[in-house]
Structure 1
Amino acid sequence: MNIKSQAAGEIAIPFDHEKLDRLMDAAGLDILVATSKHNVQYLLGGYKFIFFAAMDAIGHSRYLPVLVYEKGRPENAAYIANRMEGAEHANRPFWTPTFQPATWNSVDAGNLAAEHIRKLAKPGARIGIEPPFLPSDTHAILEQLGNSTKLVDATATFERLRAVKTPEELSKLRAASELITDSMLATIEWANEGVTKTEIIERLRREETKRGLHFEYCLLTLGSSHNRAASPQAWKKGEVLSIDSGGNFHGYIGDLCRMGVLGEPDAELEDLLSEVNAVQQAAFAKIRAGALGGDLIAAGEQRLKQSHVAPYTDFFAHGMGVITHEAPFLMTNHPVTYEGVDAGNPLEAGMVLSVETTMLHPSRGFIKLEDTLAVTETGCEMFGERGRGWNRGGR
């Protein structure tokens, strides 16, 4: 089935298609084929099909949403979807002029995408794909497009498109961060002596869910341990707690870490968290539109070198938004494997960063702050900034 959404002149495109056209031109791309759920979500203005929100597998194959976009010709865009998405379209029509809810597997999706691309592609056209998110059977179909077309890795083009957030996106990232902070502080206040890591993580999941977040994960430590996995380990008086969580708010990730203590923090704990915060603040001071991405990395690393906690402490920063590590890419293979290609590029207002300083103290445990900041023209705005000191448990 091929459904026409609306006349070309009436298209309301939910992203900066002129920016996308410029990026495609710079990369030498004629047509883009999005197959990752996060990029399809972005190109559809935040839509994600609920039936496959948690898992892609069905029957012998998988759900594969495909959005095809031709440079400079949004009127030729197509969304190839699962059959059940026809009901979604009936309630809230997709912007793509062509909508095909006809697939149950990746082969059908590939064949329909190829059929649409053949109508558009000129001889020698360069077709941008997402290799990490393109099943081998679908890739094989697109390789047979003919007409001297060439498949090209367009991962970087999608990343650049998402790098600068709109005011609406910033609002969602702010909400995600604030709600995660609220959830973590409520969980720390609830947790008391004897409660286990597994129970604390479950409590956080419930706190995030009741606030409208989709719970993604919780990495938790208690006491002197550096192990952040769920376990029967129980919280004891005087011990520290590190709670690091990601939650999804309407397609955008919040990712923060806060500290708790069961009792009152002693002088050593106050000093250790103060050192972590000093590294964070040194990096924050370098964040503004126009500053090089590497400047904040250098500032954080330099402040850490001066600290007595340097031998067992690490600092890094990364971009975030629809996924947890996205442009700007500021460090190479630290810790996630990618090139820090944006270290020498200026930051732009609307970019969003996660800044992290992590201490693996040999006797006091895992002490960390992770903060989310939006780049502004004059500096930065922190999202979810509360609770950056020692939060008391068992209240």
Structure 2
Amino acid sequence: MNINAGQTIAIEPPFDAARLDRLMEEAGIDVLLATSKHNTQYLLGGYKFIFFAAMDAIGHSRYLPIVVYEKGAPDHSAYVGNKMEGSEHHNNPFWTPNVHAATWGTLDAAALAVEHIKKIGKSGARIGIEPGFLPSDARDFIGSHLDGARFVDATHALERLRSIKTPAELEKLRLASELITDSMLATIAVAREGTTKGEIIEHLRREETNRGLHFEYCLLTLGSSHNRARSPQAWAKGEILSIDSGGNYHGYIGDLCRMGVLGEPDAELQDLLAEVDAIQQAAFSKVKAGAPGTEMIEAAETLLKKSPSVAFTDFFCHGMGLITHEAPFLMTNHPVAYEGIDGDRPLEVGMVISVETTMLHPKRGFIKLEDTLTIKEGGYEMFGERGRGWNRGGV
């Protein structure tokens, strides 16, 4: 069912359609079927159906949103969604000229996508899919009902499309980072001797939620332990704390790490965090539009090799935005399993990267800084830059 019957709506896509057309041409894609939550959200201009925000499963199947986009023909675009999304469209119409809000599972979503592809005359086209986000039953159905069609992996094209953030996206990422920083510093300040990891994580969750973030996770260590999972471990006087959290602001991820100490940091702790920061600063010094990502990596790793803590310290950087690891992909399998295909490519204005240095000190514990930068012409802008030193607990 096309619930746009009799309606006239704008068909100007809320993304760079010309860029997407170029990327599809390069990838050999005629028609795109985006099925991941993050890419359907992006292609719909930020929309995400709240009913399935926490879980996709319903009945015997799962929610499967689909954005259909034909290269060079945005007027042929369609959105396939759940039956309840008809009300969402009524209140805030989707940009796609065709909206099929009639599904409850994967097969009925696939059937509507096939019906639309046939309607626009692309039954035998090269169909771009997201293999990691297209259920096997839906893929089998589409493949068996489109004679002559060929599946092409569209993951790379969609990652490239999202890699350059708009000013509106950058503002959301800035706010996500600022609000996470505020939440982490507030959480460190109220944690006291005897406060458990579970209590600290729960306090952070409330701080982030009260600031308008969707809490994603908190990785926390206390004392000399390197274990970042929730536990009954309690913070003891003189011990350090590392708090690494991801929070979501209107779909965009903030991801930072800050350090705390219960008492005053001694000279060794001051020196160790200074080592971590120096490696971060070495990377920052090479960040600017036009410079390849390898320059910042080499600068950080050159200084790291000279560090007295090199045996237990690691440097890493990655792109981020709607998800925590996205283009630019700068390092290979370090630690997340993907190829660093963008390391030699020039950084571009509007890209956002996370830069992190982690020290697993055998006696003093887990010492880490993680920062978020956006690329600018002459350098970078840091989001959520406060609290990069030792933050005192129990104040």
The bucket for the TM-score relative to the shorter chain is: over 0.9
1:191-224 per-position Cα deviation (integer Å, ceiling 9, x unaligned) = 0000000000000000000000000000000000
Q: Which residue is equivalent to 1:41?
A: 41
Amino acid at match of 1:300: A
CA distance in 2, matches of 1:321, 1:373: 11
Aligned residue-pair number: 394
CA distance in 2, matches of 1:209, 1:352: 24
Is 1:199 aligned to residue 207 of structure 2?
Answer: no
Q: Which residue is equivalent to 2:285?
A: 285
CA distance in 2, matches of 1:145, 1:24: 23
1:165-199 per-position Cα deviation (integer Å, ceiling 9, x unaligned) = 00000000000000000000000000000000000
Gaps of 5+ in 2: none
SS in 2 for 1:387: coil
Is 1:354 aligned to residue 349 of structure 2?
Answer: no
Q: How do 1:164-183 and structure 2 match up within 5 A?
A: 164-183=164-183
CA distance in 2, matches of 1:112, 1:237: 61
CA distance in 2, matches of 1:146, 1:214: 40
Instruction: Give the alignment's TM-score, normalised by structure 1.
Output: 0.98
CA distance in 1, matches of 2:13, 2:288: 29
Q: How do 1:230-379 and structure 2 match up within 5 A?
A: 230-379=230-379
Is 1:141 aligned to residue 141 of structure 2?
Answer: yes
- The Cα of 1:309 is off from its aligned counterpart by 0.8
Distance 1:219 1:123, change over 3 A: closer
Q: How do 1:99-178 and structure 2 match up within 5 A?
A: 99-122=99-122, 124-178=124-178
CA distance in 2, matches of 1:12, 1:68: 15
Does structure 1 retain, via aligned residues, the 8 Å contact 2:293–2:343?
yes
- The Cα of 1:243 is off from its aligned counterpart by 0.1
Instruction: Give the alignment's TM-score, normalised by structure 2.
Output: 0.98
Gaps of 5+ in 1: none
Does structure 2 retain, via aligned residues, the 8 Å contact 1:121–1:149?
no
Identity of aligned residues (%): 71
Q: Which residue is equivalent to 2:31?
A: 31
Does structure 2 retain, via aligned residues, the 8 Å contact 1:217–1:245?
yes
Q: Which residue is equivalent to 1:70?
A: 70
CA distance in 2, matches of 1:99, 1:33: 14
Does structure 2 retain, via aligned residues, the 8 Å contact 1:118–1:145?
no
Amino acid at match of 1:258: R
Q: Which residue is equivalent to 2:185?
A: 185
CA distance in 1, matches of 2:252, 2:145: 35
1:253-294 per-position Cα deviation (integer Å, ceiling 9, x unaligned) = 000000000000000000000000000000001110000011
- The Cα of 1:147 is off from its aligned counterpart by 3.5
1:85-144 per-position Cα deviation (integer Å, ceiling 9, x unaligned) = 001011100000000110000010011111111223446411000000000110001112
CA distance in 2, matches of 1:369, 1:145: 51
Does structure 2 retain, via aligned residues, the 8 Å contact 1:213–1:247?
yes
CA distance in 1, matches of 2:246, 2:393: 21
- The Cα of 1:12 is off from its aligned counterpart by 3.0
Moved more, 176-185 or 287-296: 287-296
Amino acid at match of 1:20: L
Does structure 2 retain, via aligned residues, the 8 Å contact 1:276–1:369?
yes
CA distance in 1, matches of 2:326, 2:297: 16
1:307-346 per-position Cα deviation (integer Å, ceiling 9, x unaligned) = 0011000001000000000000000000000000001100
Distance 1:246 1:56, change over 3 A: same
Q: How do 1:79-98 and structure 2 match up within 5 A?
A: 79-98=79-98
CA distance in 1, matches of 2:345, 2:245: 29
Amino acid at match of 1:350: G
1:25-52 per-position Cα deviation (integer Å, ceiling 9, x unaligned) = 1111100000000100000011110000
Instruction: List 4+ stretches of structure 1 deviating above 6 A.
Output: none
CA distance in 2, matches of 1:101, 1:42: 18
SS in 2 for 1:3: coil
Amino acid at match of 1:393: G
Amino acid at match of 2:154: A
Moved more, 109-118 or 381-390: 109-118
CA distance in 1, matches of 2:371, 2:25: 35
- The Cα of 1:146 is off from its aligned counterpart by 3.2
1:331-362 per-position Cα deviation (integer Å, ceiling 9, x unaligned) = 00000000000011000000000000000000
CA distance in 1, matches of 2:356, 2:385: 13
SS in 1 for 2:369: strand
CA distance in 2, matches of 1:120, 1:269: 64
Does structure 1 retain, via aligned residues, the 8 Å contact 2:173–2:321?
yes
CA distance in 2, matches of 1:35, 1:325: 18
- The Cα of 1:145 is off from its aligned counterpart by 3.5
Amino acid at match of 1:163: S
